[in-house]
Each structure stands twice: as C-alpha cells, then as structure tokens.
Amino acid sequence: MAYKNLLITGSNGCVGQYLIDWFLKNTQFRLYLMVRDRSKLPISVQKEKRVKLIICDIRESNKYKNEISKVNYLIHTATAWGDPQRAYEVNIKAFEELLEMLDIKKLEKIIYFSTASILNTNTELMRESLIYGTEYIKTKYKCFERLRESSFAEKTFAVFPTLVFGGTLGKYSKYPVSYLTSGLKEIAKWLWIARFLKLDSKFHFIHAKDIAQICGFLIKNHKEAKYKGFKKFVLGQKFISIDNAINILLKRNKMKRYFAIPLTRKILKLLLRILPIETTPWDSFSIKKYDFNHFPITNPETFRLKSHAKSLNDILTLSKLPRCNIN
C-alpha cells in the first residue's frame, strides 16, 4: 500500500503539534515535520516510524528539496513577525520557494494558514490591513493575494484562525501553550477593574485541537466536489462580546459586578486622544473598527464533527486557569 506524504511546516508550534497528534492518530500518512529545533518536539514523536524530521529554517528548505518533491499534502503554519525583513523572507519569499519545490503532479492539497486580521466581516480582503497592519499582517495579506492567483490556487484551502487557545497553564503541558492561553495568567491582575467596564466589541476564538480536526477533515475529504478548488475558511466559534467574556470570568471566580461603565466606540476614540498611550496604526484602526466578527465562520460542527472547546468556559477549563482570589 502506497502511503501519502504530509509536510507540516512550523511543526513545533502550538497548532503544529496538535496537527501532528491528529494525523498520527487518524491516518497512516508519513509525516515530514519541518522544525528549527528538534528538542521542542516530544521524544515520542521523534521516535515514531512514520515521522521524518526536516530540521531547518523554512528559508533553507532547499536543503530538503528531494523530500519536499515527494509531498502529497502540505499544511503550512510557519510564520514570522516582529522584524519586517524576516517577516517578508519567511511569510512570502520562503513560502513561494517551498511551493516551487513541490511536484504539482503529486501534490493533492495545500492548507495555507493566514490570519483573520486581513479579512472584513464578510470574509473579504480588508484593504485597511495593508495600510495599517503590522509587518506580519501586511505580509500575510500580500501572500494570500499572490497565492490565490498562482498555479497552486486550485489545490489550496486558505484557513484564517481567529483567537487561538491551546496547551495548559502550569508546570506541565503536553502541547506548547498558545500566546493567548499564556496571556490568561494575567487575568487576575485586571479582572478587578474590568468588572466595572462594559465593552460590547465582538470576537471569535477557537482551540488548536479543533483547528487540527478541521484540517484533518479537509485533507481526508478533499476529493468531494464541495471541498475542491481554492476556498477560504475563517476558523472560530460563534462570536461573543468582551462584556460576555468578563461576565463568564466573574461568574467563574464568584466575583460580583455592581455596575459597569459602557465603553462605546466614541468614548474609546476620545480616550485614545486624551490619554498618553502609545499606539500603533493597527491599534488605532482596531479601536475604530471595534468588532472582529466574521460571517460565515467555520468550526467542527460545520462538518458535522464535535468541537473540543465550544464555549469560553470550555477554553478556561481546558487551559487549567486557576481561579482568582479577588472579592
């Protein structure tokens, strides 16, 4: 039996390791795992017979040109931010060079990870992302534009995760902890004051394990007519407001809320002018935009699967966030 080859870039990241776990458990694929530091992968994964490590920065992928040419599926999660030059080299140049190493006759499907920050409410490209965005957002915008016009478009699913949670807090976590899950540790410092503010700004979230099962479904069912051709999926659960999130956290920590001052869009704009707060162009635009909800949204239930974390309460429980001791 001829086994399929799947290449996962960014394999030692939070989403990457949930993907590895899903495909090892649910398929017989050979996994080519691109990592910069093998020590960040569990020993059990490194010893798995179906795993081959591609140890390099994605900008040095040509060292493994032979292996890459054998790939049937590519899930591209590797990314860079912070430095504009590195963001361009990793998010655009290296990715396009990687595509050229693939044998398009053997290649069946690409799942390309972008960011929901480049899309508007109707999941169309948002021009303001290119004007005000960080180097990460701008390069993701440009790469998406180029990819959908490329010869690989017909074999591509572009996924746009919203706020990603994953891993667990505390000393031990089977998976790397996502930035947002790690940020939950700061909740105790701000919840005491957040309970006196009301902000109806909307947002979506999704757990990395749910991202993995969506990607698995798209790969395994890619031959079905409705899942063919270039498509985009914004990954997230039904939106909630920041005020809803505050109420959930207050209830979880048995804290009372006597009153709340509404922070409308107008008030936020005014505070931005008055207070001595340094903001980036993207920060200012985000405050003006106010809501970050999208339609349509994709989660496991879209494909008749069951979400690992459907609600914010599920997220908080799975993250093992300790309860606050604030009255």
Homologous superfamily of domain range 5-164+205-235: NAD(P)-binding Rossmann-like Domain (3.40.50.720)
pLDDT at 142 exceeding the cut of 90: yes
To the nearest whole percent, how much of the chain has pLDDT over 70? 96
Highest mean pLDDT among 143-147, 196-200, 275-279: 143-147
Q: What is the pLDDT of residues 52-103, one digit of tens each?
A: 999 999 999 999 999 999 999 999 999 999 899 999 999 999 999 999 999 9
Amino acid (1-letter code) at residue 288? K
Q: What is the pLDDT of residues 281-325, one digit of tens each?
A: 998 899 889 899 999 999 999 999 999 999 999 999 999 988 765
Kind of pairing, strands 30-35 and 51-55? parallel
What whole-number distance in Å separates Cα of residue 129 and Cα of residue 60?
Answer: 29
pLDDT at 1 exceeding the cut of 50: no
Q: What is the pLDDT of residues 21-44, one digit of tens each?
A: 999 999 999 999 999 999 999 999
Mean pLDDT of the chain, nearest integer:
92
- Domain coordinates of the chain in residue numbers? 5-164+205-235, 183-203+238-293+309-319
Question: CA-CA-CA-CA torsion for 210, 18, 208, 173, nearest 10 degrees?
Answer: 130
pTM to 2 decimal places:
0.94
Task: Give start and end residues of each alpha helix (H) in the chain.
Answer: 14-26, 43-46, 65-68, 84-88, 95-101, 127-132, 135-148, 179-183, 187-194, 208-220, 242-252, 265-274, 281-289, 312-319
pLDDT at 168 exceeding the cut of 50: yes
Q: What is the pLDDT of residues 255-293, one digit of tens each?
A: 888 889 888 878 877 776 776 667 789 988 998 898 999
Quote the pLDDT of residue 99: 98
Question: Buried b vs exposed e over 146-155: b needs ≥16 C-beta within 10 Å?
Answer: ebeeeebeeb
CA atoms within 13 A on the CB side of 282: 12
Q: How many CB atoms lie within 10 A of CB 266?
A: 8
pLDDT at 154 exceeding the cut of 60: yes
Quote the pLDDT of residue 101: 97
Kind of pairing, strands 205-207 and 163-165? parallel
| Minimum mean pLDDT range among 149-158, 205-214, 239-248, 263-272 | 263-272
